[in-house]
Amino acid sequence: MTHSTANENHRLSFWASVRESAVPPPMIESATARRVVGDWAGACAAAHVDADLDLRTIHRLHGTQFARELRDDLRHLAPDLLRWHFPRIGPDGLVRPAVTVSLARYGRLHLVARTPPAWASAGQRISLALWDPARPRDGVGGHRHPHPDRRFRLDLHRHLWDVRKAAELRERTTGDPGAARLAAELDAEEHGLAVDRWAAEAALLLRADGCADRIVSVRLNTQRWLAFDGSSMVATSRGRAGPVLPDAATWVLPDLELLRAGLIDADRLHPLVASALVPDHQPAARSPDTAPSARLVQCRGATHRIGVVDGVPVALDHDPDEIRREELLTALGGPALPCLRVVDVLRQPESLVDVRARLAHSLYRAGITTFR
């Protein structure tokens, strides 16, 4: 196996694991249900996003027009989608700690999403806040990086958090075939570089930042940066100069790579991502009988339920006395009750692998739903 192929396999394996555990369907469903009825704060709570925003104070300090615009953005924020696309770190794919990500700009003000430092053990939470460069330390406590990070910014990529723009994801992942030469030079496919998008994204960046210079810096790793002029690589360096092309524009969308590699299907993507990348996809219907509240088992001619009580899988349609009798019969060598066989499997340590993965992301309820 070549070094580049090994890197590609590691990258795809990393993102497949993240997509499996980090933002589970119950979280997406709960956040969506609250968002569609206008409860943006409830949607944030469901997605483990803290809203450190006092809209009354913001209205008083910055005026009616700004408060109205901010509130409109919050109502269209999909916090579960934000968590889905949030920058992550290895080896476990946890959200990047101690980072401030700009989501939207309103003149000098930024709506930002922050994560606490790793040592804070804050349970993978993300917080929303308003950042004012005129008062950069207001409300940030001891956060080491309160200002928006130039590398991790989503104000130019609203389709990664704003439901009004989510459908643009497909367009923003469609590249320019004229970049084939540079893509080959950088071995872009092996490394996951979105070289065919760089020209369009660089133009967007330069226009947004009001830069007359056509050069942007592209970070490939800690040791290697490129200077890109919109069509070709003009220099390499160990540092950056000028505007930095955001990571969201530098790399191929992980979901797109996973789809191309056959490592994920559309039903396992975030619904907004699936509808953009696979527009003809029909989501699999989830009927009440297959909802995650219970697992159905055929048990001696009847359909029974396996559910979770106090975090433990149990047979819901058998009373305790019957279960004790059946367990005694099994211990004496008799056939096990089908419901109890399923419960035993779910309680085995090897069945906890997925739960542990989700608990690593501090999503306790999501971990429990693995049993269901």
Q: Label each residue of 211-260 as H, E or C.
A: CCCCCEEEEEECCEEEEECCCCEEEEECCCCCCECCHHHHECCHHHHHHH
pLDDT of 287 over the 70 cut: no
Mean of the pLDDT values across residues 152-162? 98
pLDDT: is 185 or 156 the higher one?
156
For the cut 90, the answer to whether the pLDDT of residue 323 exceeds it is no
Cα 141 from Cα 129, distance rounded (Å): 12
**CA–CA–CA angle 166, 273, 127 (5° rounding):** 70
Q: Within a domain: residue 308?
A: yes
In a shared domain, residues 330 and 203: no
In a domain, 270, yes or no: no
> 190 with 333, same domain?
no
Residue 352 and residue 314 share a domain: yes
**Is residue 82 a part of any domain in this protein?**
yes
The residue among 202, 229, 252 that closes a domain is 252
Does pLDDT of 226 surpass 60? Answer: yes
CA distance 183 to 334: 65
Distance of CA 301 to the CA centre of its chain: 42
Same domain flag for 148 and 188: no
Written as one string, the DSSP assignment of 54-99 is -HHHHHHHH-HHHHHHHHHHHHTB-HHHHHHHS-EETTTTEEPSS-
232 vs 1: which has the higher pLDDT? 232
When computed from its CA atoms, the radius of gyration of the chain, rounded to whole angstroms, is 24
Residue with more model confidence, 287 or 246: 246
> Which residues, in sequence order, are CB contacts of 250 under 8 Å at separation 6+?
193, 194, 198, 218, 219, 220
Give the range of the structural domain holding residue 326, as residue numbers without chain letter: 288-369
Average pLDDT of the segment spanning 260-265: 93
Co-location of 143 and 240 in the same domain: no
d(CA 170, CA 175): 10
How does residue 89 score in pLDDT terms, banded at 50, 70 and 90? very high
Residue 272 lies in a domain: no
Tokens 């085995």 appear where?
A: 348
72 assigned to some structural domain: yes
End-of-domain residue from the set 252, 276, 308: 252
149 and 54 in one domain? yes
Q: What is the mean pLDDT of the chain?
A: 85
242 sits in the region (left: phi over 0; alpha: psi -120 to 50; else beta) called: left
Do 152 and 246 form a contact (C-beta atoms < 8 A)? yes
Residues 105 and 232 in one domain: no
Pairing mode, strands 109-114 and 126-131: antiparallel
348 belongs to a structural domain: yes
How far is residue 8's CA from residue 2's CA, in Å, rounded to a whole number?
10
365 contacts 287 by C-beta, under 8 angstroms? no
Q: How far apart are CA 205 and CA 112, in angstroms?
A: 18
From 205, 179, 181, select the one nearest 194 (Cα to Cα): 179
Instruction: Tell me: do 294 and 319 sit in the same domain.
Output: yes
- Would you say residue 283 lies in a domain? no
Most confidently modeled of 227-231, 264-268, 330-334? 264-268
DSSP symbol at 121? -
68-80 pLDDT, tens digit each: 999 999 999 999 9
Same domain? 156 vs 205: no
On whether both 46 and 147 belong to a single domain, the answer is yes
Residues 6+ apart with CB under 8 A from 36: none
Sequence-distant (6+) residues with CB within 8 A of 68 are none
Taking the CB of residue 113, how many other CB atoms lie within 10 A of it?
26
Helices then strands, counting H and E runs in the chain, come out as 17, 12
Count of structural domains within the chain:
3
Residue 51, H or E segment: strand 49-51
Report yes or no: 297 and 306 within 8 Å, Cβ to Cβ.
yes
Q: How confident is the model at residue 297 (pLDDT cuts 50, 70, 90)?
A: confident
Single residue among 169, 195, 219 that ends a domain in this structure:
169
* Model confidence band, residue 61 (pLDDT cutoffs 50, 70, 90): very high
**Which region, left, alpha or beta, applies to residue 139 given φ > 0 means left and ψ of -120 to 50 means alpha?**
left
Q: How does pLDDT run across 104-115, given as a tens digit for each residue? A: 999 999 999 999
Residues 234 and 305 occupy one common structural domain = no
User: Do both 162 and 184 map to the same domain?
Assistant: no
Largest Cα separation within the chain, whole Å, is: 83
